[in-house]
Amino acid sequence: MRGMADLHIHSTYSDGVYTTGELAKMARAAGITVIALTDHDTLLGLPEMKKTASEFGLDFIPGVEFSTRWENRQVHILGYGIGQHNALLLERLADVRNARRTRLQKIITRLHEMGMDVDVPVPEEGHRAVGRPHIARAMVAQGYVKTVQEAFDLYIGEGKPAYQPQTKMTPPEAVHIIHQAGGLAIQAHPEEIGDRELALNLLRTLPYDGIEVYHPSAKDPAAQSYWLHVATERNLLVTGGSDFHGNPGRFPEKLEDWPVPREKVQDFLRRFGL
């Protein structure tokens, strides 16, 4: 099938602004014909996204984005085609979501101490995975900052006064969990790690299935061809997507802003019979 692919999208089940239904509609309008939902640390949105994708005539691949940490760097790892009833996977994801809630509370308390009465509803387990963007959007809504970006830059970004670290999985654990749940493990946006040597070491030592080459963080053609070269050299699958969250002021602002032709990720799609 022709058209565009978007294999990295966030919904309201984690820190995205839009619902699965809105995403399917936007994808359809943008000429995207295959989508993967990759919410942070949760599978909760997958059944609903599958249903709405089919209503809009889109091919669908279930995904998840694990937040891991390695040598003090944030390393995100994408899992595609995972079994959604795998006990170990579900248990570890629930642990991570609990840690996310605890950390959200700590950040809110810190903001209160700084005189900002930020009000963020913290949902019960089983609803959605919370993240700093929820706080940032509440700060915008309450007038403490003008944009989500400003909230990160002034208060909640790493090293800023209200920042709190989070207990995270490690890359070896995430890759292992994805594999034992029958999925493909893809190194998400390697350029965003901010240390190519570290990313290369991970790619050399862990049994990844692929690399997310076409991502806004590797917008620069030189960066893109660098990671494409690494993928080819290591015989890894190539994926790509917008990492759309729907935050105004942060690229991509629209789902259509980062089109990836299906041909560019065809070996990956073939693994799903597409």
Question: What residues make contact with ligand AMP under the rule CB under 6 A?
Answer: 15, 40, 67, 131-133, 148-149, 152, 157, 245, 247, 250
Q: What's the min distance (Å) between Cβ of 67 and ligand AMP?
A: 6
The smaller minimum CB distance to ligand AMP, of residues 40 and 128, is found at 40
Q: What's the min distance (Å) between Cβ of 63 and Zn ion?
A: 10
Cα separations (Å) of 207 from 67, 116, 234? Answer: 18, 45, 11
Closest residue by Cα to residue 162 from 130, 139, 141: 139
Distance of alpha carbon 7 from alpha carbon 196, whole angstroms? 22
Name the pairing type of β-strands 210-214 and 32-37. unpaired
Q: Tell me whether the omega of the peptide bond preceding residue 252 falls within 30 degrees of 0, making it cis.
A: yes
The smaller minimum CB distance to ligand AMP, of residues 71 and 253, is found at 253
Closest residue by Cα to residue 212 from 192, 232, 241: 241
Quick check: 243 binds Zn ion (CB under 5 A)? Answer: yes
The smaller minimum CB distance to ligand AMP, of residues 68 and 247, is found at 247
Q: What's the min distance (Å) between Cβ of 233 and Zn ion?
A: 25
Segment contacting Zn ion by CB under 5 A, of 88-96, 153-161, 235-243, 263-271: 235-243
Residue facing Fe ion at closest CB distance: 76
Quick check: 76 binds Fe ion (CB under 5 A)? Answer: yes
Choose among ligand AMP, Zn ion, Fe ion, none what residue 208 binds, the Cβ cut-off being 5 to 8 Å by kind: none
Yes or no: say if 7 and 36 are a contact pair by the CB < 8 Å rule: yes
3-state helix, strand, coil in the chain (%, to 5): 45, 20, 40
Answer for which of 6, 7, 15, 78 binds Fe ion (CB under 5 A) is 15
Residue facing Zn ion at closest CB distance: 243
Name the pairing type of β-strands 237-240 and 210-214. parallel
Residues that bind Zn ion (CB under 5 A): 65, 243
